[in-house]
Structure 1
Amino acid sequence: MLTLSFVTGTEPGKWFTRFRERTHHGGLSAIDTDDALGELLAGTAQLALTRLPDARISEQLHVVELYRETPGVAFPKDYFLAAADGAVKPEELEGEIINWQIPDSGEVDAAAVRDALQIVAANVGVVIAPRPLLKVLSRKLVEHRDYAGATDTHVALVWKKDGDSDAIQDFVGIARGRTENSSRQVATKKSAREKTLAKQARRESAGGGKGKVSKKNPPRKPRKRR
């Protein structure tokens, strides 16, 4: 079984389903956490879906970037920013209390964002973080919009080079869009009955079924009488 940790703000459910349906690695165990990379480094998970940049990334790790996240800003419901047309600009936040924002390093602390949003829900200040994270953590009293004053973050799959496996490679392939019929993907094992039925279906489609004439054994022509 493959154990994967995924950081708060990501939604890998569709990949989980495809992995379970298409492979025979014993299923998948998932850990929803604010620190997916920490779970990997601690040995709790074999694969991490995490947010980058992260200073803990080293040469001992494989990193496959999947997509980028747009920055966003969260604010109290019925705030003047709710009427914003398009992304909120930095000048629109002048004088506002910023409870948390993406630092210059670009690293995101999901737990800190969670705590800061509680202050926003109390009708105080704003929070600047990846918008997918704000979408997951925001409560009914908080709204969010795109923000034009911060850099994008990245979501990637990370695993230890010395812990590579077919299960990890299959999950990475699925996350990157590999189809079920790809020759690089390990196929699900079939039972003896399934193999027999598949073989019969191939024979019938090739013309060997009932009511069809086999090309290999065509009917003999009748001999002419002398």
Structure 2
Amino acid sequence: MKLLLIEDNLELAHWLVQLLREQAFVVDHVADGAAADQLLRQGRYDVVLLDLNLPLLSGKGVLRRIRERQDAVAVIVLTATASLDQKVQCLEIGADDYLVKPIEVRELVARIQALMRRQMPGRANLLSCGDLHYDLRTRQFECAGVELALPPRERTLLETLMRHTGEAVSRQALVQSLFGVDEDASADAIDLYVHRLRKKLEASRATIVTLRGVGWLLRARST
């Protein structure tokens, strides 16, 4: 899952990025609204964590532009202001949630996960493909009744494929999901992670299929 943190307090941002990455999120960070707006026009994010008091373009300005171009990305406002009027205004502009600083990371992670579940109606908290299951609450995989522990990159890749089971996911979409803007992804990085996942899923009824020139999809094996 890929997050964009928009926060001009660099000390707070550094702390949040570290803690969120420890939770296996891919996190990009920018410190002003103009840079955030440009990045959001170019990239794909699952959740935006948005401070309001930003230089160059305010947080509300960023939020308005997101919704004006009909971008449905989930947005959680992070602010030191507990004003009810401001909270209502942000929600009316298009925020999905509103958290008052100081931030409790456990609560933030729970709210991120809740937003992701809300974007997948009808699927409850469990995604399944064959005997492979993914719990949206705990972000844990289970294969044939046994927990499947994965390194962060492989975990993010399989999570992305699970969210689009039966649908083709392009190389570019996977690169954007797995890597931050400050990270260099080699040309064969995705192929390497797919290869590793396939080996770990050999005994599973779920398989990753290559669609040449299109991407990859996760589906149940034919019986």
Q: Please say whether Structure 1 and Structure 2 have the same fold, judged by a TM-score greater than 0.5.
A: no
More helix by share: 2
1 or 2 for the larger relative contact order (CA 8 Å, sep ≥6)?
1
Superposition TM-score, scaled by structure 2 size? 0.29
Superposition TM-score, scaled by structure 1 size? 0.28
